[in-house]
Structure 1
């Protein structure tokens, strides 16, 4: 698996916000979201190829139960299944963060699925080849349904406008078997002032539509920087 970074921090999003966690960030992605805030793990992937054993050695000194496997897109790696199996053998709680475009039989405790809306289209930022590939792959409700059926999950939608939020409702209308209380809307922002502007309308929108609001607390705690 190509690994961009391994670090200890505090989960800033979703159900486990505030939980001390080890983050294993894989490098490489099958999408090209224009707003991606970890381009070093997606658009311009960095890092070394590590075996499962090498990854485990790097985290063995962290006395933390929770492990978050994120990216990039960790589901592109076949070795993810072996990594999760070995982490479970060591008693770890595992979250896999994914865009929900690829299915894989990996064992984890929480699927953190972030389906990409039309607002992620990289037109004007990426080549036409990547624009077409992104649009062909990003919408995969059947994959999301399969992941939800595997166990505990949360659905996190990145939104930057009311139109984006309304698109979430359209997405959910075509998604079978989801639990409304596991659906979260998260502001598209990488700075505290941007978060506050987005939350000024998003909080009321979520309240009126009975959907969860998801902040990005790590931005508030640490700023938008690597290793956090």
Structure 2
């Protein structure tokens, strides 16, 4: 059990289920053990449900990697709902599945997320071709009770693309969260000086990575 550190439910005690494996390769990925070099063990749905119940919290967060990749994700969501739990899905929105959730935390990947084509030519091409399927994102939003758009931003220059994506998804400004790229408090403090004023000028929400401020950049938080 931990606390949600990002977005609308920041500070909420939550049980996190992290899947391993991803169909994208963001160069700045802060969970490379779930994407670039996926690791982990197989856990049954029964065990996951039991662990979520034993955590004695009302909120479950499905994250990754990319949590929409596993074949059993729909069954997992259904069983969590049966237990009366609130389900957040943190996804890049690139996989078309008729899945319902209480909060869809959709993180569209901007052009600047693409890995270096000289170092990773295959993944650079795949990432660029997969990263922004607007129609799929719209369908995922339609299936959720609530949603947020969460953009990882490394430069003020990316706000033009952010506004374009938000417009294509018909997103209200207060459903758009701007989160700095960076995994240290020092990096986030530097980014905040540039990004927060621009975020507020667009009417968006600034989204710090509070889990890093609370626990540091370490696994399991």
Q: TM-score range by the shorter chain?
A: over 0.9
Aligned residues: CA RMSD: 1.3
Q: Distance in 1 between matches of 2:135 and 2:6?
A: 24
**Is 1:160 matched up with 2:157?**
no
Contact 1:34-1:125 at 8 Å conserved across structures: no
User: Which stretches in structure 2 are left out of the alignment for 5+ residues?
Assistant: none
Deviation at 1:179, TM superposition (A): 2.1
Q: Distance in 1 between matches of 2:125 and 2:117?
A: 12
Equivalent runs, 1:9-88 vs 2, <5 Å: 9-88=2-81
Deviation at 1:137, TM superposition (A): 0.2
Q: Deviation digits for residues 153-193 of structure 1, max 9, x if unmatched?
A: 000011011111222113234x1432222011111110001
Q: TM-score, normalised by structure 2?
A: 0.95
Contact 1:94-1:108 at 8 Å conserved across structures: yes
Q: TM-score, normalised by structure 1?
A: 0.92
Q: Which moved more, 1:199-208 or 1:56-65?
A: 56-65
Q: Deviation digits for residues 195-227 of structure 1, max 9, x if unmatched?
A: 010010111101211111111111100011001
Between Structure 1 and Structure 2, how many residues are aligned? Answer: 220
2:116 alignment partner in structure 1: 123
Any idea what SS the aligned residue of 2:65 has? coil
Q: Choose which of 128, 131, 136 in structure 2 pairs with 1:143.
A: 136
Q: Distance in 1 between matches of 2:71 and 2:118?
A: 29
Deviation at 1:116, TM superposition (A): 0.1
Contact 2:26-2:113 at 8 Å conserved across structures: yes
Equivalent runs, 1:129-208 vs 2, <5 Å: 129-151=122-144, 152-173=146-167, 175-208=168-201
Contact 2:184-2:212 at 8 Å conserved across structures: yes
4+ long deviations beyond 3 Å: none
2:100 alignment partner in structure 1: 107
Contact 1:85-1:106 at 8 Å conserved across structures: no
Deviation at 1:125, TM superposition (A): 7.5
Contact 1:23-1:67 at 8 Å conserved across structures: yes
Any idea what SS the aligned residue of 1:202 has? helix
